[in-house]
Amino acid sequence: MKNSDNLWEKASRPAPVEPPRKSFALTGQSIAIDPLHNAVRPDLADVRLAEYVFAPHYAAPMPCTVTRGVSLHAQSSLQSETLAELKAGETFECLEVLREVAWGVAPDRRLAGYVARDALDRLA
């Protein structure tokens, strides 16, 4: 199994234009997806990763600006492990909004996780 922790970088590049396919086949090696660096959960994934992962639902990122210093957490609980401290002015690409938290990607740090919803400009 091939490991890749930077699918986000690959997915951010524009894809070459190809004619529509009439059929699909599973080829090549499977890739181990690192959810720390890629916005992938069992129920939802970043649409930019659709070429690399299967998920029941995909979401397009909504760029937001961090309005105050905030912790990026591994889980939806704000008491869970802190992955990084985001500073005011940093970008956070939101993929899902829950009651008090938003899930998405901190692209400058290449980390996926949860932040307090009220620390993002469009979601407060």
pLDDT tens per residue across span 33-62: 888 999 999 999 999 998 888 899 999 999
User: Which residue has tokens 């996780």?
Assistant: 113
CATH of domain 60-119: 2.30.30.40
Q: Where are the domains of the chain?
A: 60-119
Triad 112, 4, 19: Cα angle to 5°: 95
pLDDT digits (tens, 9 = 90+) for 1-39: 455 556 666 666 666 677 777 776 667 666 778 889 999
The whole-angstrom separation of Cα 89 and Cα 3 is 32
The whole-angstrom separation of Cα 85 and Cα 69 is 7
Eight-class DSSP state of 66:
B
